[in-house]
Structure 1
Amino acid sequence: MADDELDALLDGRHHDPHALLGAHHVRGGLAIRVLRPYAQAVCLAAPGLRVDLVEQRDGLFTAQLPLPEVPDYHLLVTYDGQEHTLGDPYRFLPTLGELDLHLISEGRHERLWEALGAHVTTVDQVTGTRFTVWAPNARGVRLAGDFNHWNGTGHAMRSLGASGVWELFVPGLGPGTRYKYEVIGPDGTRSLRADPMARATECPPATASVVTASMHVWSDQEWMRRRAERPAHASPFSVYEVHLPSWRPGLTYRQLAEQLPDYVADLGFTHVELMPIAEHPFGGSWGYQVSSYYAPTARLGGPDDFRYLVDRLHQAGIGVIMDWVPAHFPKDDWALAHFDGTRLYEHQDPVVAEHPDWGTLVFDHGRNEVRNFLVANAVYWCEEFHIDGLRVDAVASMLYLDYSRPYGQWRPNAHGGRENLDAVAFLQETNATVYRRCPGVVTIAEESTAWDGVTRATHHTGSNGLGGLGFGLKWNMGWMHDSLQYLSRDPVHRRHHHHEMTFSMVYAYSENYCLPISHDEVVHGKRALVSKAPGDWWQRRATARAYLGFMWAHPGKKLLFMGQEFAQGGEWSHDRGPDWWLLDPDYGAEADHRGVRDLVRELNRLYRANPALWALDSSPEGFAWIDADAAEDNTFSFVRRAGDGPPLLCLSNFSPVVRHDYRIGVPDQPGDTPGRWREVLNTDRLVYGGSGVTNPEPLVTAALPAHGRPASISLTVPPLATVWLSPG
């Protein structure tokens, strides 16, 4: 071997080490070359053959054999007097096909995780692991891990042409192997990098990638078969949002699987939403600064352990939504940032490459391979882990080029506008691909502006001249902000802010909405839901109960963050999780906390049983105000409908005053006899911690006009409470 080629090989700069190492036909037979730094001896062994190789220089061992064909050989390598039997990585042809490479370059490989990353496989009847990584600007890439003492000199990878993909098959390596890529950038700088496509990782703060192979056998076939029967916007959809590491601190995925499904099912929620599961280096980011997009966090177990949790939730009849963060990623120098020595995953323009709010880097959504990395990732979680929905974080930060950026720190698009056309196209492709490949999955946008068409189909053009983004649902941040503002006001002042509770119906059908009381609203000084309300302890609890009753009756799907279902007063802490001790029978105020949890259970039971509360969430026919203007009373009354089914009447009183003989107009009922309405929910019941002001007897309709309706009923309205009435 020429010295310059050996120098490049030893330095890790050779693009085709397979052309030099391994067995090669030469005049007179075969040339065998093996690079094993620090080896004392290397021997080639084959059936009926054993040959000692001679060290040429710096760990390069060679021999020439008078053989016409390459034998089925292995290597006997001696380190510190110990002989090890090893396969030769350089005796194998590339294991990645031309179609895979073409699709990667085009940005159209919808199962990218099967082409890139580490995969246990068998080549020519030899079992090992194939490693592939995209690093188009690297001068060289080597594989380092615990199998070579983190010295990649003997495991240089080959470049597969213009694709930018580097590949190496290493015989004998299997699940549990820790590894990284040693990447040499264009300027010669070197860094050890976690695999962007790693499907398992070490537990932070350790940062190595880990070879994995799934052995999980799914038992949720019935769930998967039925989940596409009805779209999310026309189904009951009540979500319990969970931060898994702190829901019950210290529990693993498998331990959580023994508790979480039963708890959620008992409370009647239809889904759980998991705050980001993908691996992240800093626990304090709650998972929103992701370093390994294809690996569930190792803090709670391995990938199959997470599959087991999802499986158990499905068997309990609970759907699983996962927070997904395709907007930005952290700057850690062992992960995605400047991965191959250049701005590869992040935006090429340094002016816009960094997110000003979070100190993170912004993905280059216009680059084929980066877009493919993220689109395939969305599909990966749905197909490989049976995830039922993706709640996409920080969509607004992606849509607007000037998001949180002052003048001069952003560049207009090709049309001179502020819309991020690359991000729009990326979101459209993600939604279209997920809905096409994964029937029954729903995508949900956390989008805080009035962008037109977030839940509109991608082929329908909106007022901004762009197609719809194609999401299934959108968080109604306006409703959340306005209603919580109202909740926080003293009842004496609420009449001046009545519109904060009614304004949401002005735009309620512009999108398919979900009403979120999420983790963001109970941290950083915003206070827990019950603590937002004014007044004494009883008034705060009563207001929270009334608010939950109003929320569950309001058009839109529901989401409630953990701890709020039993009205904990303290803010959420990711270190300690919910204040479960409040439910302890020995705690003096258990009736309040348990009562609120019982109310949430009843809200979900009634919600799921009454199509009027969900079947027409996205249609004006499903809602009508009875009295939207009772500002002096601090009351709101409306009716919910589901086609020809029975209506449900909701009345919320956000005043601490009992209102006797309170008359409201009611919908017409068929028949000549007076209609009757019975109380099916009252948040002031004693069992919920209320004062017990109820309407125990059916309310009879009178032919007295009220609120523009020919008939009405008179009822007693409890203080700081919500009442639901049903015909019958």
Structure 2
Amino acid sequence: MTQPNYAQLPDHDRQRLRACTHHDPHAVLGWHAVDGGSVLRTRQMGAESVAAVLQDGSRVELNALGDDFFGAHLDRTEACDYRLEVTWPGGFTATQADPYYFLPTVGETDIYLISEGRHERLWEVLGANVKTYTTAIGEVSGTAFAVWAPNAVGVAVVGDFNGWNGAQFPMRSLGSCGVWEVFLPGVQPGAVYKFAIYTQEGYRRDKADPLAKLAETAPATGSVVAASDYSWGDEQWLEKRRTTNHDVEPMSVYEVHLGSWNQGQDYRQLASTLVDYVADMGYTHVEFLPVAEHPFGGSWGYQVSGYYAPTSRWGSPDDLRFLIDSFHQRGIGVIVDWVPAHFPKDDFALGRYDGRPLYEHPDPRRGEQQDWGTYVFDFGRPEVRNFLVANALYWAEEFHIDGLRVDAVASMLYLDYSREDGQWAPNQYGGREHLEAVQFLQEVNATVHRAHPGVLTIAEESTSWPGVTASTEHGGLGFSMKWNMGWMNDTLEYFSEDPVNRRYHHNEITFSLVYAFSEKFVLPISHDEVVHGKGTLFTRMPGDVWNKAAGVRMLLAYMWAHPGKQLLFQGQDFAQRAEWSEARSLDWHDQDGWEGEYHRGVMELVRSLNGQYKALPALYTQDFSGHGFGWNKADDANNNILAFTRYGTQGEKVLCVFNFGGTSQPEYTLGVAEPGQWRLVLNSDSGEFAGANNALPETVEAISFPHDGYDNSLTLHIPAMSAQWYVFEGR
């Protein structure tokens, strides 16, 4: 009786492997036991011959089976290690381990957690992860590839290591979880790859890896195998961060677009120049516009194609680690903009990843953001939530970031955000609230704060949604802080008015204190306020160059004194004249020439503001409590005078006085809480800041003379267009 030739390839397997629609190529290729022995099969595109070298040193020639398949029947039944010796045209021979010899690199627990949407270290399982296995013949190093593509009928790894041939390395499906995987021996860091997705509609779509840790530099779109050997030096910083309560600490943030701060500098160069600048200016934190990979530089990083890949525009992931580490070793925290609200439609990236809506919601009324031409994540799908929550943890774990500023939160919270009637679908209760997005935000905030105490999450949220910074245990969204967009809009509108007209807009400068303690606020003058024809802080100010500079100094002194932490975008701390552009460096030359003194003066003021701010606990220890603030003068609209006292937790007091008008007030009386000496610590009109240099007394005496509801009062000289801070020193 003739024994079957098990080395021959069944036609149905052959056709599916040729079309890359086989859900389990490992069941056909590689070594397999059969009746009376075993078979070994491989596919080597373009090879002339293939032999197997077994662990006992024996050698087996494989027969050509057609379509670049090779196979042999072995008498032995027990499994053994082997290497494939492949000979190519011209006589070149390569010896390699067989990808279809290895067990799945994604374990059962991983599959369970992925299916549940609770795998908090997703980047260690999906994507491309360099691994080394010890086999009977010796160590095998390579890369484990895994991707979530549940709608695909087949998936293969393609890259510069196989001529981008979609039939060479088909992946196996791990069942209903939708994950496909394969381990490729010999593929090392630096290899460029994509996933060839074969769709149910019969198309091949080459897609970048959603969890790639590195991408080619745009406009190229390939993913790159990467591994880190970076050795961190920020242990002391991280230890301190774990126990830091940022609510009661100073927080002065410098917002930066890394590509335009000083154009042409990479992560490593910025680790010197930018770190020195931020430290010299006295900021406590720096905030990067998004550094995740993005295809179009003009998006400033807000249309992300690689959520796990730091952009290659300015160096490698380890170069970015070096930059962050350098900030930490100088005592400066690093916040990164994070964009979980939406993603671009570029064909190589997340959109319609496996031929059908996957990361995006399938209903265009929920799955598309028309204003931005982007897709919206399907926040109700566990695997999508997992992708984003794990990504937040990834930046904290792998890059030691100290905070995530979450972009466009309002667009996530409301189903009708920027949509007309008929363009949105209500929630299950008929409302406009995006309940799944709310649950996602609560999950990501609670998870980040649990896993990494001391790491901040900050919402860019422009509406009056309640409880943005309330704890998730009490039904809030759980953010650490929220950008105060109302304060920003009202303040910039007020300062754009000519001083003679500001009396009619006085409520714009006082209204923020009505709600200042309803959330934990950051006061932002961000990149969004210096683009698209809005002008800059300098150009918004009315008057000649002197008045413009005085207005900027006054605004910044008011901002630093106001309850809440503060954020200032690059260039505004020297009153850059031109709007910001990502395509050029900051206009550092504004500080040159005879008018440059005004820009240098603003910079000196910001340096002084940061120094005084950190030295005065009254300005930060009760930022989020009404106990930290009291009005001294809120109703003098005719004179454009504003005055308030900031109170620290240990009884410290700082009196902050502002003359937003064009007329000096040489003898202005204010009621104050305490009699005794008040010492001048900041005067925006000082000559060192290119002000009018009006001589003001170093101390003033408050006497027991009732005024404006206070039992005590003092009389001040308040120059036009100026701000002063006074510290109470006692009797």
1:79: Cα distance to partner? Answer: 2.7
Contact 1:53 1:62 in 2 (8 A): yes
1:331: Cα distance to partner? Answer: 0.3
- Say whether residues 1:536 and 2:537 are aligned partners: no
RMSD: 1.1
**Structure-1 residue corresponding to 2:3:** none
Contact 1:528 1:568 in 2 (8 A): yes
The one-letter amino acid paired with 2:85 is L
Residues in 2 aligned to 1:180 and 1:404: alpha-carbon distance in whole angstroms = 35
- Say whether residues 1:185 and 2:199 are aligned partners: yes
**Structure 2 matches for 1:316-395, cutoff 5 A?**
316-395=330-409
Residues in 2 aligned to 1:644 and 1:441: alpha-carbon distance in whole angstroms = 26
1:248: Cα distance to partner? Answer: 1.2
Residues in 1 aligned to 2:599 and 2:543: alpha-carbon distance in whole angstroms = 17
CA deviations over 1:425-458 (Å, ceiling 9, x no partner): 0000000000000011010000000000000011
The ranges of structure 1 where at least 4 consecutive aligned residues each deviate by more than 6 angstroms after the TM superposition are none
CA deviations over 1:21-62 (Å, ceiling 9, x no partner): 011112332211111122222222235222322211110011
1:12: Cα distance to partner? Answer: 0.3
- Say whether residues 1:428 and 2:442 are aligned partners: yes
**Structure-2 residue corresponding to 1:464:** none
Question: Normalising by the residue count of structure 1, what TM-score does the alignment of the two structures yield?
Answer: 0.97
| Between 361-370 and 242-251, the greater mean CA deviation after superposition | 242-251
Within the candidate set 490, 494, 504, 1:496 is matched to 504
1:591: Cα distance to partner? Answer: 1.6
The one-letter amino acid paired with 2:150 is P
1:75: Cα distance to partner? Answer: 1.4
Within the candidate set 516, 519, 527, 2:527 is matched to 519
Within the candidate set 75, 86, 97, 1:87 is matched to 97
**Structure-2 residue corresponding to 1:481:** 489
The one-letter amino acid paired with 1:640 is R
Within the candidate set 619, 622, 641, 1:616 is matched to 622
Contact 2:192 2:222 in 1 (8 A): yes
The one-letter amino acid paired with 1:535 is G
- Say whether residues 1:112 and 2:122 are aligned partners: yes
CA deviations over 1:461-514 (Å, ceiling 9, x no partner): xxxxxx200001000000000000000001111000000000000001110000
Residues in 2 aligned to 1:207 and 1:40: alpha-carbon distance in whole angstroms = 33
- Say whether residues 1:595 and 2:604 are aligned partners: no
Contact 1:539 1:656 in 2 (8 A): no
Residues in 1 aligned to 2:589 and 2:581: alpha-carbon distance in whole angstroms = 15
**Structure 2 matches for 1:51-200, cutoff 5 A?**
51-81=60-90, 82-124=92-134, 125-200=139-214
The one-letter amino acid paired with 1:603 is L
1:350: Cα distance to partner? Answer: 2.4
| Between 359-368 and 91-100, the greater mean CA deviation after superposition | 91-100
Residues in 2 aligned to 1:351 and 1:5: alpha-carbon distance in whole angstroms = 42
**Structure-2 residue corresponding to 1:306:** 320
CA deviations over 1:279-318 (Å, ceiling 9, x no partner): 0000000000000100100111111111111100000100
The one-letter amino acid paired with 1:401 is L
**Structure 2 matches for 1:465-480, cutoff 5 A?**
467-480=475-488
CA deviations over 1:109-160 (Å, ceiling 9, x no partner): 1111111111111234321110010001100000101110111211000001
Contact 1:656 1:720 in 2 (8 A): yes
CA deviations over 1:306-341 (Å, ceiling 9, x no partner): 111110000010000000000000001111000011
**Structure-2 residue corresponding to 1:224:** 238
Within the candidate set 253, 262, 266, 1:252 is matched to 266
**Structure-1 residue corresponding to 2:513:** 505
The one-letter amino acid paired with 1:545 is R
CA deviations over 1:229-263 (Å, ceiling 9, x no partner): 23222210100000011111111111110111111
Question: Normalising by the residue count of structure 2, what TM-score does the alignment of the two structures yield?
Answer: 0.97
CA deviations over 1:347-396 (Å, ceiling 9, x no partner): 02123211011000000000000000001100110111000000000000
Residues in 2 aligned to 1:492 and 1:634: alpha-carbon distance in whole angstroms = 9
CA deviations over 1:558-582 (Å, ceiling 9, x no partner): 0000000111111001011311122
Residues in 1 aligned to 2:596 and 2:651: alpha-carbon distance in whole angstroms = 38
- Say whether residues 1:646 and 2:652 are aligned partners: yes
**Structure-2 residue corresponding to 1:37:** 45
Residues in 1 aligned to 2:77 and 2:412: alpha-carbon distance in whole angstroms = 60
1:98: Cα distance to partner? Answer: 0.5
1:186: Cα distance to partner? Answer: 1.4
Residues in 1 aligned to 2:602 and 2:630: alpha-carbon distance in whole angstroms = 28
Contact 2:127 2:145 in 1 (8 A): yes
The one-letter amino acid paired with 1:544 is V
Residues in 1 aligned to 2:605 and 2:164: alpha-carbon distance in whole angstroms = 57
Number of residue pairs matched?
A: 715
Residues in 1 aligned to 2:479 and 2:563: alpha-carbon distance in whole angstroms = 18
**Structure-2 residue corresponding to 1:712:** 713
Residues in 1 aligned to 2:358 and 2:77: alpha-carbon distance in whole angstroms = 45
Structure 1 unaligned spans of 5+: 461-466, 670-674
The one-letter amino acid paired with 1:280 is H
**Structure 2 counterpart SS, 1:433:** helix
Residues in 1 aligned to 2:108 and 2:218: alpha-carbon distance in whole angstroms = 36
Contact 2:243 2:453 in 1 (8 A): no
Percent identity for Structure 1 against Structure 2: 56
Contact 2:674 2:702 in 1 (8 A): no
**Structure 2 counterpart SS, 1:74:** strand
**Structure-2 residue corresponding to 1:701:** 702
CA deviations over 1:93-120 (Å, ceiling 9, x no partner): 1121101000000001111111111111
